[in-house]
Structure 1
Amino acid sequence: MSGRAEVTEKPVRADAPGRGRALARIAAGRRRWIVAAALLAVACSLPFQLVPFRVFQFTMVLVYAVALLGLNLLVGHAGQISLGHGAFFAVGAYGTAIMLDRWDVPHVLTLPAAAATAFALGLALGLPAMRLRGLYLALVTLAIAIFLVPLLKRFESVTGGSMGLTLGKPAPPAWTGLAEDQWLYFLALAVAVAAFLLARGLLHSRVGRALHAVRDNEAAAEVMGVRLSFYKTLAFAWSAMFAGAAGSVYTWVIGFVSPDSFAVTLSITLLAGIVVGGLGSFSGPLLGGLFVMFVPGISQDVNDAAPGVIFGLLIITVMYVAPTGLAGLAGRVARSTKKILRKE
């Protein structure tokens, strides 16, 4: 028997840190789903607690959130710029209006048709994105938003010209027992939930990873085998599709479309909304929808003579307080609260 003591070593589990990170991700995912379920429950109860005008306002928040979801996909996740997102919104709205007014298409069928039309237009517009970037790309998209209004006015026999088109709203089925404003709210909520789930699935797929690679470093992404032209074009098409779907629901809710409703200020307001809400965040479009819906009205109430000045000052204030948007501010507050609770 040897005089040397035998040393037995316990095997080190090399996968412990990786397993810990995996469990942390699972726990974080569960928390996000719990928060989402709670928000959905609150959203479902909302139209039964508010007066019809407030229900209408929150319906429009959902409409704008779907449009901003597409803009967030393009700007926040793909790193492209667009000052003409309102044009895609108008394509969906007018496409729905024409189908309802000229062809008596059922409301539910106008949504996929309008979204597909906007997708095709975004695919065509995405072609210049293969060669343009930065200010040059912004100028091209801005030009589309500028000439859209006179173009809609010119084809008066189809679009109704400056007078626009008045349309019927989808009536609630008798078995629901809902008022018209409540029914429209739930239609917008259903479209918004479907849009957010679709965007989530897209961003967690190979397409989403490719878009993030293009946003972070185009040269490195190309070296890794990412086809820049394909994914840039696809980003424009997906972004336009969400905006077209939002425009379709807008027509259902408002029951009227006119060219002046889709002026270039709409595109600028939508871009401001997603920046204020939080670029690249999943809650940014919803927070941006609240901003787009309520802040212009607040500006009008504060000063009837110069609401644009108040609106601009509010944007500057939000950007100063929350440089990463309201979603980033909420995250910082949550992290600070956790640190305080841990110290106690």
Structure 2
Amino acid sequence: MSDRSRLVRRTLLAAGLLLVLALPFYLDGFWLLLGVLIMAAAIGAIGLNLLVGTAGQLSLAHAFFLAVGAYSYCWFAGDSGPAGGGITLTGLHLPSLLAAVLAVATAGFAGLLFSPIAGRVRGLYLGLASLALVFVGQHLLFNLSSVTGGYNGRRVPALAVAGFELTGNDPQLTVLGVPFGDRERQWYVALVCVVVAYLFARNVLTGRPGRALALMRDNETAAAVVGVPVHRYKAAAFVLSSMYAGAAGVLLAQALQRVVPDYFGLALSVDYLAMVVIGGLGSVAGSVLGAAFVTGLPTLLTHYSDHLSFLAEPGSSGVDPAVAARLVFGAAMAVVILMEPGGLVTLSRRLRFPLRKAGGAAPAQPPQTAARASAPAPHDIASP
């Protein structure tokens, strides 16, 4: 990449960051909530893409780990007391930031308990094994009512530091004449979390672990030959993905302000799988694009359904916004698989550089030379 290209790229990144930082001063509550939901989904999608796209391990259990993160936070940070309907909730009433860290760690621990299976099973068999976690999780969420609140769910305590709520309304705050309530504060908390998650995942992919996971995905035998501990790397990928899901669950709970078991079903796992496929397998940026597409589309269709005559009322026999979104997701996945395997991220790169091929590309290497140049050396992959 030339110095001019780097300068242009850094300028665009800086301008985009300034725009994102300024948006809460101009957007209303609906758009701020949508942005927080997209950023929370992006974190979960990055974690799943590390597992599916980079490590090559199919998982349908992402909804389970999201639920572990969300409900663990509510239990660690929440109070004990009656919740109505004959249910008495329990909670440890820990500081909310500590509760958030413990919730992410709990999701990682749940992934660690499943990692012996993830380390020895792959492909469709791993997908079916992980699917069992969703059904087990649904049973626990509905029946461990003292922890989860049962069918009615549980209220989510706001993140706070020294009495100042980072995701709530207390105390009242005004910045440049704009009241900063819960949605504005959630926006900035989610933005910091998604930037940290994005940068950490990029470092994983560009470092030794990412190269090892990619080689393991393509050829486990070759990875073992050059010294990659395959079972350990598979288990580590599953734990890391679970922790990303736990962090996404905490942010999602903050945005929804109440968690209910029905939300964390199989449909949520399928949505996350659609995010990584549509966005681009193995791409961190693709995870963000896929999360924006899959999360934003049904919300926007519902919001503007009164202006879209082809959509029926929710619950009717016609095509309502939820059904329309599912149809679009299915069509998008089919198009990606058949015509653009790189997903939205590859499509966006082609749109950004439409004349790249015509503008003096470097001469192509012979196939054997190119293969040798791109192949990582064994000592770059193997664990020390």
Q: Which runs of 5 or more structure 2 residues have no equivalent in the other structure?
A: 79-90, 159-166, 306-310, 362-384
Cα distance in structure 1, aligned partners of 2:272 and 2:64:
11
| Equivalent residue runs for 1:67-216 within 5 Å | 67-101=44-78, 102-169=91-158, 170-171=167-168, 177=175, 178-216=180-218
Matched residues in 2 for 1:280 and 1:29: separation? 23
Residues 191-219 of structure 1 show CA distances to partners (whole Å, capped at 9, x for unaligned) of 11111121122222211111111112111
Q: Give the alignment of 1:291-310 within 5 angstroms.
A: 291-298=293-300, 300=302, 301=305, 302-303=311-312, 304=314, 305-307=318-320, 309-310=323-324
Higher helix share: 1
Q: Which residue of 317, 335, 342 maps to 1:324?
A: 342
Provide the rounded CA distance (Å) in 2 between the counterparts of 1:316 and 1:26: 41
1:210 & 1:29 partners in 2: Cα distance? 28
Cα deviation, residue 221, structure 1: 0.8
Specify the alignment match of 2:370 in structure 1: none
Aligned to 1:48: 25
Match for 2:105: what amino acid? Answer: A
Task: Report the alpha carbon displacement of residue 29 of structure 1 after superposing the two structures with TM.
Answer: 6.1
8 Å contact kept, 1:107–1:252: no
Which deviates more from structure 2 when the two are superposed, residues 333-342 or residues 133-142? 333-342
* CA contact 1:64–1:292 (8 Å) conserved in 2: no
- Following the alignment from structure 1 to structure 2, what is the Cα–Cα distance between the partners of residues 35 and 138? 39
Q: Does the CA-based 8 Å contact 1:78-1:232 persist in structure 2?
A: yes
Name the aligned partner's letter for residue 85 of structure 1: H
Percent of residue pairs identical: 37
Q: CA deviation digits over 1:72-103, x for unaligned, max 9?
A: 11011111111111111110000011112212
- Following superposition, the deviation at residue 153 of structure 1 comes to 1.0
Superposed CA deviations along residues 149-180 of structure 1, whole A, max 9, x for unmatched, are 12111111121111111234333555664222
How far apart are the structure 1 equivalents of 2:229 and 2:219?
A: 13
Are the aligned partners of 2:294 and 2:329 in contact in 1 as well (CA < 8 Å)? no
Q: Deviations over 1:221-253 (max 9, x none)?
A: 111111100100000000000110111111222
8 Å Cα contact 1:111-1:249 kept in structure 2: no
State the alpha-carbon separation in 2 of the partners of residues 143 and 25 from structure 1. 50
Q: 1:222 and 1:93, CA in 2 relative to 1: closer, same or farther beyond 3 A?
A: same
Corresponding position of 1:335: 353
**Aligned AA (2:328):** L
166 and 28 in structure 1: CA distance in 2 versus 1, 3 angstrom threshold? same
* d(CA) in 1 for partners of 2:202, 2:99: 24
Cα RMSD of the aligned pairs, angstroms, is: 2.3
The TM-score with structure 2 as length reference comes to: 0.77
Offset, 1:326: 0.9
Say whether residues 1:231 and 2:233 are aligned partners.
yes
1:313 Cα deviation from its structure 2 partner? 2.8
Q: Which has the larger radius of gyration?
A: 1
Name 2:88's counterpart in structure 1. none
Normalising by structure 1, we get a TM-score of 0.86
Deviation string 1:97-150 (CA, Å, 9 cap, x unpaired) is 111221222322222111111111112212112221111000011111122112
Query: Would the aligned equivalents of 1:66 and 1:192 in 2 still touch at CA under 8 Å?
Result: yes
Report the 3-state secondary structure (helix = DSSP H, G, I; strand = E; otherwise coil) of the residue aligned with 1:283: helix
| Closer/same/farther in 2, CA of residues 179 and 228 from structure 1, 3 Å limit | same
- Stretches of structure 1 that go unaligned for 5 or more consecutive residues are 1-23
Tell me which amino acid in the other structure corresponds to 1:158: V
